[in-house]
Amino acid sequence: MFIIDDLLLRSIGISVPGLDLIWTLEQIRGYAQRELYNPERIRNQIKEIRLLYEFGEMSREEYVERSEQLMQRLRIAEKMER
């Protein structure tokens, strides 16, 4: 019901930030994307897994797999920053 109300109100140009469900969902999505694709945070995760691998707490296969995932996320994050 709230989604329909929000869509109807938006269609006539009425939007109340904070009470608008779509606005709230957009804010949550934006926050999640900033957290997931934060280049500095990803670089720190890469350093962390490197240390875990060097101290023998992570197998080589795990390290390679996780490193590839993080490098891919880092490339995406850097493209999003531009």
Q: Is the pLDDT of residue 71 over 90?
A: yes
Tell me how far apart the terminal alpha carbons of the chain are, to the nearest angstrom.
Answer: 39
Q: Is the pLDDT of residue 60 over 70?
A: yes
CB 74 within 8 A of CB 50: no
- Taking alpha carbons only, the member of 50, 27, 42 closest to residue 78 is 42
Give 14's pLDDT tier (boundaries 50, 70, 90). Answer: low
Question: What average pLDDT does this structure show over 11-39?
Answer: 79
Give 17's pLDDT tier (boundaries 50, 70, 90). Answer: low
- From residue 17, how far is each of 7, 25, 55, 56, 76 by CA, in Å? 13, 11, 49, 50, 30
Nearest-angstrom CA–CA distance, 44 and 49: 9
Across the chain, mean pLDDT equals 85
